[in-house]
Amino acid sequence: MPKAEYRATLAQDRNTVLIEVMIDDQPQAWSSSTAAELSSLIDLLVSLRAGMAAPFPTQPDANVAMPVVVDPCWQAGMTERGEFALRLRHPGLGWTEYQLPAASAGPLTDVLERARGAA
């Protein structure tokens, strides 16, 4: 059975994404997805990826480039359980929230204080 590959392109009006299923470099099926539909698909794929047997490493690999978002929108606060909550807006994923226990938030505070001193 031939292996399907996917091709995705942003429409010229930037309102939809065309996803094509390609076999032997020929389109076999397609879907035109709105931002909401694409977000639902991304959420599903992210959830499936999180459950895979091959997790992401706990430390970043210095030899692997990662996506960079410069000066993202962010919010910070405390949860009802007393954890530090950091919310970051990724242009492709939307808002993501990271909750850090106090023990982890301390080293983050240290880094932020050093950054403020260097500015």
**Would you say residue 119 has pLDDT above 80?**
no
- Full-prediction pTM beyond 0.85? no
Long-range contacts of 30-37 (CB under 8 A, 24+ apart): none
- Residue 73 has which token pair? 């929108």
Instruction: Say what the pLDDT of residue 33 is.
Output: 97
DSSP assignments along the chain, one per residue: -PPPEEEEEE-TTSSEEEEEEEETTEEEEEEEEEHHHHHHHHHHHHHHHHTSSSPPPSS--TTS-----SS--EEEEE-TTS-EEEEEEETTTEEEEEEE-HHHHHHHHHHHHHHHHH-
Residue with tokens 């000066």: 71
The per-residue pLDDT for 20 is: 97
User: Quick one: pLDDT at residue 104?
Assistant: 85
Q: In sequence order, which residues have a C-beta less than 8 Å from that of residue 38 and are 6 or more positions away?
A: 17
